[in-house]
Chains A and B, each alone.
Chain A
Amino acid sequence: MATGSTPLISLKNAGIYRSDRWLVRNVSFDLAQGEILTLIGPNGSGKSTTAKMALGILTPDEGSSNKRNNLKVRYVPQKVSIDWTVPLKVRRLMSLTGRVSKFEADRAMTLTGTLHLANSEVRTLSGGEFQRVLLARAIAFKPDLLVLDEPVQGVDFNGEIEMYELIRKIRDELQCGVLLISHDLHIVMAATDRVICLNGHVCCSGSPMKVAVSPEYKELFGARAASGLALYEHHHDHQHFSNGEIFTENGDNKGVKSSLVHSHNSNDKNHHSIGDQHDG
């Protein structure tokens, strides 16, 4: 990790004030090249707001937010809805904000398993397909900084683990910084270097292991997290239950739950591999 070089982005005591309240306040962090930083916290804890500050979409009302000069950024927002009146195929989407060669676009689509969708109309894609297409678009440009806001929405459970694996692979290959927003610490931790736990302010931060056992994290995520990784599966059951409710637009609560039951074993395996990694 090139921690010694200039950080890609740097927030210092940054905060956003809207409608008589602070959405987030006193957020400070640096993101270095080649680092994966995960922002985690409950709904409304200011994760997306913090990411938008880091990206320069929102200007902090307090503190400061700086980007390295000429930083090549690609952003996958939490929600992109494309108006049906816009005719847009996946291949055209690849070069939405900058020219990308066919070779790079194809490579990115192959990596995310979306090459077969290249000539599909964007609005016909499923939620999971669209997320992967957006990720492909982001990496085709070979950015210095990749910002992913809840990249696993609409992705099923197994797809979720794959997606994080993919994000790590991308980081290793491009050596870019990744700012990841997630609501689920346990799945992301395998790929994450550092975690910042938000709830209107920075509750705790550090390595995933450190955050998972910290009292602030336990307090924030309640009893489920209290026993740390021991209640790993149970924790997931819960997370996904509520997560299912977030995107019930598909009305697919049941599907999420049943896929969970089936994936308990693979779940365990993943858990062990995380442990191994941290021992080594």
Chain B
Amino acid sequence: MMDDFFSRAIIAGVGVALVAGPLGCYIVWRRLAYFGDTLSHAALLGIALALLFQVNITLSVFLVSVFVSLSLLTLQRRVTLSTDALLGLLAHSALAFGMVALSFMSWVRVDLMGFLFGDILAVTPFDIAIIWGGGLVVLIILMIFWRSLFAATVNLELAEAEGMKPEQANVVFMLLMAAVIAISMKIVGVLLITSMLIFPAAIARRFASGPEQMALLSALIGVVAVFGGLFGSLQWDTPAGPSIVVAASTFFIITVLTATFCKVIKSIRFNKGNNY
């Protein structure tokens, strides 16, 4: 049953999950879910520009994501608007510019669905090389900046006062996010990247006792979701990208239900103990 394209999909998916998990923890801790969304919207502009200038799509998406991240940093300092409003502005500007740019290229026939929902079953060995190579670089940089990034997450001023250079760490974090969006776009598509970042971390939070454990755990949970989603899509002939997210979502619902169930059982026992 292990078709070649299927094992390639597994290898690629696992690669994305291993990187998205730890970075996703920061998305959850810093409440940046909308930032992830913005970058993935901007990825569409990246795709359009890549087609227009005939350059590598991953590279183009990375550059556009970096550009959008840096615009956000600049706007945050200059403009008196809240971050979520700025993110909304950036996300939809990038998306609209992307769509308009695509419409100018009447000669281009784009499989928009492929970009929106990913095409994991079509990954090539070259894609895998990009995912694992890029992913490894992202993880190594994340490890180097882990302490200052985490300190800045806990308290920016404290980190600044104690020489952790939080501003620098924040820029590095944005670059890493851009890189992850760029390399995972092909796997789960621009609309579902945020879920690969958020779901595993959200599930891991319940079980983790420290930040580092949470990062490892969410990487593992992401891997489980990739396996579950891909085998499910093979079994029921469903689209692969969304199936991975469905698997992660199911995982999340099960942990929530289990926790609630345990609580109810406990309180029933407790009440019984009180009555008799």
Listed in ascending order, the chain A residues whose CB lies under 8 Å from chain B are 52, 55-57, 73-75, 77, 80, 82-83, 85-89, 92-93, 96-98, 147
Asked if B150 is at the interface (CB within 8 A of a chain A CB), the reply is yes
**CB <8 Å contact, B210 and A98:** no
What is the minimal beta-carbon distance from A60 to any residue of chain B, in angstroms? 15
Known contacts A80-B158, A88-B211; is A97 also within 8 Å of B164 by CB?
Answer: yes
Q: In chain B, what residue has the closest Cβ to A83?
A: B29
A/B interface sample: 23 pairs, CB < 8 A: A52-B161, A55-B160, A55-B161, A56-B160, A57-B160, A57-B161, A77-B157, A80-B155, A82-B154, A82-B155, A83-B30, A86-B211, A87-B205, A87-B209, A88-B154, A88-B210, A88-B211, A93-B154, A96-B147, A96-B150, A96-B158, A98-B147, A98-B162
**CB <8 Å contact, B29 and A97:** no
**CB <8 Å contact, B158 and A97:** yes
Collect the chain B residues with CB atoms within 8 Å of residue A80's CB.
Answer: 154-155, 158
The number of inter-chain residue pairs (CB within 8 angstroms) is 68
Q: What DSSP secondary structure best describes chain A's contact surface?
A: loop
Asked if B28 is at the interface (CB within 8 A of a chain A CB), the reply is yes
What is the minimal beta-carbon distance from B80 to any residue of chain A, in angstroms? 10
**CB <8 Å contact, B151 and A87:** no
Asked if B163 is at the interface (CB within 8 A of a chain A CB), the reply is yes
Number of B positions contacting A (CB below 8 A): 26
A-B residue pairs, 6 tightest by C-beta: A75-B161, A55-B161, A97-B162, A87-B208, A97-B151, A86-B29
Q: In chain A, what residue has the closest Cβ to B30?
A: A83
Collect the chain B residues with CB atoms within 8 Å of residue A55's CB.
Answer: 160-161
**CB <8 Å contact, A73 and B29:** no
Question: Apart from A77-B155, A87-B214, what 17 extra A-B contacts exist at CB < 8 Å?
Answer: A52-B157, A56-B160, A57-B161, A73-B162, A77-B157, A80-B158, A85-B28, A85-B31, A86-B153, A88-B154, A92-B210, A93-B154, A96-B147, A97-B147, A97-B148, A97-B158, A97-B162
User: Which among B154, B205, B210 has the greatest number of chain A C-beta atoms within 10 A?
Assistant: B154
**CB <8 Å contact, B158 and A89:** no
Known contacts A96-B150, A96-B151; is A85 also within 8 Å of B161 by CB?
Answer: no
